[in-house]
Chain A
Amino acid sequence: MHSASSIPAGTINNLVDILTSPGEAFQALKERPTFLVPLLAVILSNVALIFWYYSQVDYVWLIETTIAQQDLPDDVREQIVENAADASPMVTGSLAAAAASVMVLLMLALMAAYLVIVSFVTNDGYRFKHWFSLVSWSSIPIVVAMLASTVNLAVSESAHLPQQELNPLSFANLLALDVSGGGLLAGVLQAVDLTSVWALGLMVIGYRTWTGKSLGSSFLTVAAPLLVIVAVSILFAVV
């Protein structure tokens, strides 16, 4: 890992270019694919936010609010709250942070693996390290979401801030929608925010830059897994 003072100038340029001139960033990455800096940035910003959230929130209230939406017998509910009162929120926060880190890594690796399969089919010559580099750098906008969430945590009544209201850039929060009722659409509106759309856009640009394919073809290729997931979810919801 590079220290801050010895981060190569190329990495700093990439960090700036990925947000301001993504085409240039991906052109540079095509020759020298890297992933460590963006990966660490995404994971560490995620972990820091989770730790700070759990250090601020009223943990018992959080558990009560979480289980309130579930259909549980009263005695089970009381037992869960009692156990929560004895538990350490920072232990739970540590577990949540570890789980989030693993999830980020897994999602990026899966996306990269999918693009490897596409490369195998299209025979474009790119390998796993290229695609992992592309998806990692495309995830940099998530750091912006983490920043916005951190500011939100600072300015709000943090002891009773629900997890679903933590990210102010989610479509549910931006549009001030009441998604407490649950459901597929509510879940999508909570999970998807401006930066995830931005990240998808960066992947499309990166894929187009590397493969030379059209914008539409690049979008379909990159967004295919997401479209499949959405379609399957809708199918399950309807059925």
Chain B
Amino acid sequence: MTRKLLIILGIIGLAVAVPVVRSVLGGGNVLTVESQVLERLAIQSSVLASGNLAHEDEVQLMSEEIGRVTALFIEEGNHVKSGQLLLQIDDEAHRSAVEQNAAQVRLQEIAIERQRLRLENLRVQWERQRMLHEQGLVDQDSFDLMTNDLGLAEVDLLSNREQLSQALAQLEEAEDRLRKTQVYSPIDGVVTSLDIKVGETALSSTTNVPGSTLMTIANPDSIHTEVNVDEADIANVEVGQKANVYAIAYPDTPISGVIDSIAVSAKVAEGAQGLSFAVKIRLDPPEGVSLRPGMSCRAEIFTTTKENVLAVPIQAILVDEDRTENVTSYSVFVNRGGEARKTAVKVGLSDDTYQEVTEGLTEGDEIIIGPDRILRTLEDGDLIETAVS
């Protein structure tokens, strides 16, 4: 029985010893992890916002007169100069009006001349009547009548002169309306939108009808973006800060820009629920990038930049929250001779990719950065083999 017991114990001992010896001799599980050597980097913290492109210098031309368009001298996409004739509205009626008013002016001038001659004649007659009245050859009634006629003639002349002024004013108005049948460009730029064709009726801007715009001219060099920054982030945004803007049409091409202005008051942006501030960013588009107003875009506004700081990839940072003490602590795993060693760190600024480490690590340390499925269950002292990235 003793022999059998010894054999049993020997079998159990072997069953226990074999895995223990394997583990001690390093035959245990070695995990393959990714690592990165700690180096000094620049970190830019940023705020993300979305918006649209627009031209700073942009005018929407509307007609001041209602009429049929008889000629268009430009096409969409054309470059135009300030003062260049763009289109012609039918001016026949306006020319007639100018002619009528010019004729009315001439008639008034003739009436004034007639009245002036009559007045001169009446003055001569009055003088004669006065002398005869003094000699007693003309009665008082007749003399008073003549005096009255003279006075009325002077008033009539004044009236004619005022009517001439009125006719001149009407002529000027008719001429002005005639001039408005020709639409000129107010700025140098590009016709970005042409909303009228020859034969269509241009509506007057005074009718306030939507779509009465003739065309839109914009200065392509004045393109900017207006993005909506959430009210929670606006405190860190200042005029002059740099930004990278990504148009939807060029998702991988960053367009550098600078913040030009920040709205004074918040508003609820279209399609959003919370309050945001409109921020204008002046752009400097690179060669080969064709930006058009209305394009959707997203902007990364760099609020704070720190140069030459120790930084680790964000995925390498392990966060431990102690809710009872309300304390959050951070750590990373460092490769120390083939073993993963959990090292407490203090963190600072971060961006989308990297987190600044202010304490706990030394430049040159090999930080374990992944894969995530291993990192989340890694324990202090685990055997590792690394693929340095």
Residues of A near any B CB (own CB < 8 A): 16-17, 19-21, 58, 60-61, 64, 144-145, 147-149, 151-152, 155-157, 159-162, 165, 168-169, 173-174, 176
In the complex, the answer to whether A148 meets B8 with C-beta atoms within 8 Å is no
In the complex, the answer to whether A155 meets B15 with C-beta atoms within 8 Å is no
Task: Determine if B373 is an interface residue (Cβ-Cβ < 8 Å).
Answer: yes
Report which of A20, A61, A147, A157 forms a contact with B28, defined as CB distance below 8 A.
Answer: A157
Report which of A61, A168, A169 forms a contact with B374, defined as CB distance below 8 A.
Answer: A61
Interface code B23-55, partner A: CB below 8 Å = 1, 0 otherwise?
Answer: 100011101000000000000000000000000
In the complex, the answer to whether B15 meets A20 with C-beta atoms within 8 Å is no
> Which of chain B's residues has its CB closest to A57's CB?
B377
List 13 extra interface pairs beyond A156-B23, A159-B377, A161-B29, CB under 8 A.
Answer: A17-B4, A20-B8, A58-B376, A61-B374, A144-B12, A145-B15, A148-B15, A148-B18, A152-B23, A156-B29, A157-B383, A162-B29, A174-B18
Can you give 17 A-B contacts (C-beta < 8 A)? A17-B4, A21-B4, A58-B373, A58-B374, A61-B373, A61-B374, A144-B12, A145-B15, A147-B12, A148-B15, A152-B22, A156-B19, A156-B23, A159-B377, A160-B29, A168-B18, A169-B18
On chain A, the residues within 8 Å of B374 by CB distance are 58, 61, 160
> Which of chain A's residues has its CB closest to B384's CB?
A157
On chain A, the residues within 8 Å of B382 by CB distance are 157
In the complex, the answer to whether A61 meets B377 with C-beta atoms within 8 Å is yes
Task: Determine if B16 is an interface residue (Cβ-Cβ < 8 Å).
Answer: yes
In the complex, the answer to whether B19 meets A148 with C-beta atoms within 8 Å is yes
Q: What is the CB-to-nearest-CB distance from A183 to chain B, in angstroms, rounded to a whole number?
A: 22
In the complex, the answer to whether B373 meets A60 with C-beta atoms within 8 Å is yes
From B11, B12, B27, B373, residue with most partner A Cβ within 10 Å: B373
On chain B, the residues within 8 Å of A159 by CB distance are 377, 379
Secondary structure call for the A interface = helix
Task: Determine if B248 is an interface residue (Cβ-Cβ < 8 Å).
Answer: no
- The answer for the CA separation of A20 and B374 in the assembled complex, in Å, is 44
- The answer for the CA separation of A169 and B23 in the assembled complex, in Å, is 13
Task: Determine if B7 is an interface residue (Cβ-Cβ < 8 Å).
Answer: yes
> Which of chain A's residues has its CB closest to B25's CB?
A176
- The answer for the CA separation of A152 and B374 in the assembled complex, in Å, is 20
Task: Determine if B20 is an interface residue (Cβ-Cβ < 8 Å).
Answer: yes
Interface residues of B in 331-374 (CB under 8 A from A): 373-374
Report which of B12, B23, B31 forms a contact with A160, defined as CB distance below 8 A.
Answer: B31
- The answer for the CA separation of A147 and B14 in the assembled complex, in Å, is 10
Task: Determine if B3 is an interface residue (Cβ-Cβ < 8 Å).
Answer: yes
Q: A61-B373, A157-B382, A160-B374 are in contact. Are A20 and B18 (CB under 8 A)?
A: no
> Which of chain A's residues has its CB closest to B20's CB?
A155
> Which of chain B's residues has its CB closest to A146's CB?
B15
| Total interface residues in chain B, CB < 8 Å | 24
Q: What is the CB-to-nearest-CB distance from B120 to chain A, in angstroms, rounded to a whole number?
A: 106
Q: A17-B4, A58-B377, A160-B377 are in contact. Are A148 and B31 (CB under 8 A)?
A: no
In the complex, the answer to whether A156 meets B8 with C-beta atoms within 8 Å is no
- The answer for the CA separation of A151 and B21 in the assembled complex, in Å, is 11
In the complex, the answer to whether B8 meets A157 with C-beta atoms within 8 Å is no
In the complex, the answer to whether B27 meets A176 with C-beta atoms within 8 Å is yes
- The answer for the CA separation of A160 and B30 in the assembled complex, in Å, is 9
In the complex, the answer to whether A20 meets B16 with C-beta atoms within 8 Å is no
Q: What is the CB-to-nearest-CB distance from B150 to chain A, in angstroms, rounded to a whole number?
A: 108
On chain A, the residues within 8 Å of B18 by CB distance are 148, 168-169, 174
In the complex, the answer to whether B28 meets A148 with C-beta atoms within 8 Å is no
In the complex, the answer to whether A144 meets B11 with C-beta atoms within 8 Å is yes
On chain B, the residues within 8 Å of A156 by CB distance are 19, 23, 28-29
- The answer for the CA separation of A61 and B373 in the assembled complex, in Å, is 6
Report which of B15, B22, B23 forms a contact with A144, defined as CB distance below 8 A.
Answer: B15
On chain B, the residues within 8 Å of A148 by CB distance are 15-16, 18-19
Report which of A21, A145, A151 forms a contact with B16, defined as CB distance below 8 A.
Answer: A151
> Which of chain B's residues has its CB closest to A16's CB?
B4
On chain B, the residues within 8 Å of A144 by CB distance are 11-12, 15
In the complex, the answer to whether A20 meets B29 with C-beta atoms within 8 Å is no
Q: What is the CB-to-nearest-CB distance from B119 to chain A, in angstroms, rounded to a whole number?
A: 103
- The answer for the CA separation of A174 and B20 in the assembled complex, in Å, is 12
- The answer for the CA separation of A173 and B23 in the assembled complex, in Å, is 12
- The answer for the CA separation of A87 and B184 in the assembled complex, in Å, is 71
On chain A, the residues within 8 Å of B31 by CB distance are 157, 160
In the complex, the answer to whether A151 meets B15 with C-beta atoms within 8 Å is yes
Q: What is the CB-to-nearest-CB distance from A60 to chain B, in angstroms, rounded to a whole number?
A: 6
Instruction: Rank and list the top 7 A-B pairs by shortest CB-CB distance, nearest first.
Output: A152-B19, A20-B4, A159-B377, A148-B15, A168-B19, A155-B23, A20-B7
On chain A, the residues within 8 Å of B8 by CB distance are 16, 19-20
